[in-house]
Structure 1
Amino acid sequence: MARTGRPKAELILSDAERAALEGWVRRRSTPQAWALRCRIILACATGASNKDVATQLGSTPHAVGRWRKRFVEHRIAGLGDMPRPGGPRTVTDEQVAAVVKRTLESTPKNATHWSTRAMAQEMGLSQSTVSRIWRAFGLQPHRTETFKLSTDPYFIDKVHDVVGLYLDPPERALVFCVDEKSQIQALDRSQPVLPMMPGVPQRLTHDYVRAGTTTLFAALEVATGKVIGSLHRRHRAEEFKKFLIKLDQEIPADLDVHLVLDNYATHKTPAIKTWLVAHPRFHLHFTPTGSSWLNLVERWFAELTNKRIRRGVHKSVQALEKDIRTWIATWNTDPKPYVWTKTADEILERLASYLNRIPDSED
């Protein structure tokens, strides 16, 4: 059957054009918008359709078609922003590129990061101009985010194992995500909490009185979102064994039990291994070291912290534990499972792409 629709413009690159486009894609300081346009043209030059290129690069067929057409008509110059109505530009493309490069590749002498005022003084531009450039390219030097790359030698195998449980659980078995939230503090404010009023948020004193700690052992059932919890004052293998016994009692005896958990030492003691040998329906699946994001119960712990613990006021450990038990019971009346969507291959592919962008990642 003949293809229908508007025919795409034929795109053929010269050796010089291909070298220039590939150079911009490889350069770290290239603005992301410009790098994406270069990738679109390189992909189109392979003969791929606009739809295929859009799927490959996370764009839209309309955008791919626009940049294809502009390149065919104007070559590389067509990838730049077209003139717009209004006064003439006072900041050149070279100045914009210089600001972006300086932001990405350097720091000021007297600070750890650039501010709009410091960059404006450095580049001879106005503070508002620097601010607009940063917004246009998504640059936020004042912000940082944390990350941790796992050094587990079995990282790939463990990712496939755990994600496989989420996406394709075994028959006649239940999958639970298990972890401990240790050292939960019962905190009482040093002065009464002032309630929220129109125009005034709730106010708490910055200091508090510690009344003790407790540890929550929790197992999140992946399929339903229900949680089995157990509170203990200490966090040892002995308490973890008691929690396993509780799971054994509450889970139907005709079902296998697969537990996703981290590499904490209390999960691997001789006493635990002996108990597991005596209960062969229990199967442990360990997440890679430094990869708590693979354990879905961590997401549930975050909800517990945000909705009950962080702003809670508890005069005793008993009051804290009562609140936690009540919250778990309420959660289980209307549980909401966390649905895992990424395959192991997608996770590993994205990680590989990230590692290619940072120096010395091969070490």
Structure 2
Amino acid sequence: MNRPGPKIPPLSLTDAQGAVLEGWVRRRTTAQALAQRSRIVLECAEGHSIREVSRRLGITADTVGTWWRRFLERGLDGLSDEPRPGVPRKITDADVERVIVKTLEEKPKNATHWSTRSMAAVTGMSQSAISRIWRAFALAPHRSQTFKLSTDPLFIDKVRDVVGLYLDPPEKALVLCVDEKSQIQALDRSQPVLPMVPGVPERRSHDYVRAGTTTLFAAMEVATGKVIGSLHRRHRAVEFKKFLAKLNKEVPVGLDVHLILDNYVTHKTPAVKQWLLAHSRFHLHFTPTSSSWLNLVERWFAELTQKKLKRGVDRSVQALARDIRAWLADWNDQPRPFVWTKTADEILDKVAAYCRRISDSGH
């Protein structure tokens, strides 16, 4: 039985202190360390024990105790980092905050993002000082990533369904991650590739000659990492049915087959549904829309792209197909599974926290 943990000396926050702490938690430009310390004080002020606050915030009890005591002793000033020995600081906290606010809330007049040079020119600081501030607060204006949140109304149910197959697969059944990699191009460089020599990397011409495309249908066995593949010129429902027939032939008769796949229209045509009715051991599990990360075969496609396709040279579709089949056969000689570790609750909690953060930012 878990004990609630030691009680904390009670303290009533003033309205002003509470407002400041809430502001630090909600403000998008607050350093993560200060935001976390503010959450600790607010949680403790509600009467929760150190252990309970530790569990709720996912941090150690020692961390909770340290910042609660610092607040008891010194108030809001106690939540700032202790001064370190050495040469006195030339850049004040206000200077640091000014750089952070500009980085997160403003843009330079002549560019889409800040550089150390442009920020230094505006703030009057050195480029090295700007670089140190950005590194300290994990800011990288030159970097950008893409994302898309799923709007699938059955997002939660589908996540639990797919992750359940990964973490607790049914008995006497095979779980396969299925997808097609379409428009794989056979590319031949306009000039011969120059091999790597000491001090000089491999070189290839920037332009190329297209020789046609092919589509790879792949089904990766979750338990072993073995992949069943089939190449086709197109990726219609007709080709998908042929691939299903191939799976039916290669999977032992006594096993049920659970397929994890996306919502592409060819997976749901009347012809496919009719085929599934005639083969009752096949069960389809669809990932949420815009959630290809939930399908492990995408990770295998990344391996294929990085290790074979990205720098491959093929003068015809037939040559490309031979290369892919050879790579697939080599993979299946020593397959390795991609082990899923996150539970559905962990995934959903992370998505919910991200959505709250976006909502709190005012964007």
- TM-score bin, normalised by smaller chain: over 0.9
2:96 matches 1:96: yes
* 1:218–1:230 Cα contact (<8 Å) kept: yes
Quickly say closer, same or farther: Cα 1:205–1:84, change in 2 above 3 A.
same
Deviations 1:80-133 (A, max 9, x none): 122212121111111211211121111122221112222222222222222111
For residues 82 and 224 of structure 2, what CA distance do their matches in structure 1 show? 53
Q: Aligned to 1:76, what secondary structure does the other structure show? A: helix
| Residue identity opposite 2:283 in structure 1 | H
2:182 matches 1:177: no
2:301 matches 1:264: no
* 1:355–1:361 Cα contact (<8 Å) kept: no
Quickly say closer, same or farther: Cα 1:204–1:62, change in 2 above 3 A.
farther
Calculate the aligned-residue CA RMSD, in Å: 2.4
CA deviation after TM superposition for structure 1 residue 253, in Å: 0.7
Q: Identity of paired residues, percent?
A: 69
* 2:7–2:49 Cα contact (<8 Å) kept: yes
Q: Aligned to 1:166, what secondary structure does the other structure show? A: helix
Residue 314 of structure 1: aligned partner: 314
Residue 144 of structure 2: aligned partner: 144
1:1-363 mapped onto 2 (5 Å cutoff): 10=9, 12-16=11-15, 17-46=17-46, 48=48, 50=50, 52-359=52-359
CA deviation after TM superposition for structure 1 residue 47, in Å: 5.1
CA deviation after TM superposition for structure 1 residue 13, in Å: 4.2
| Residue identity opposite 1:161 in structure 2 | D
> After alignment, is 161-170 or 180-189 more displaced?
161-170
| Residue identity opposite 2:224 in structure 1 | T
* 1:9–1:69 Cα contact (<8 Å) kept: no
Q: Aligned to 2:358, what secondary structure does the other structure show? A: coil
* 2:13–2:45 Cα contact (<8 Å) kept: no
* 2:158–2:287 Cα contact (<8 Å) kept: yes
TM-score by length of 2: 0.92
Runs of 4+ in 1 over 4 A off after TM superposition: 46-52, 359-363
Quickly say closer, same or farther: Cα 1:11–1:81, change in 2 above 3 A.
farther
Deviations 1:158-189 (A, max 9, x none): 11211121122122111101000011111111
CA deviation after TM superposition for structure 1 residue 63, in Å: 3.5
* 2:176–2:221 Cα contact (<8 Å) kept: yes
| Residue identity opposite 1:207 in structure 2 | D
| Residue identity opposite 1:314 in structure 2 | D
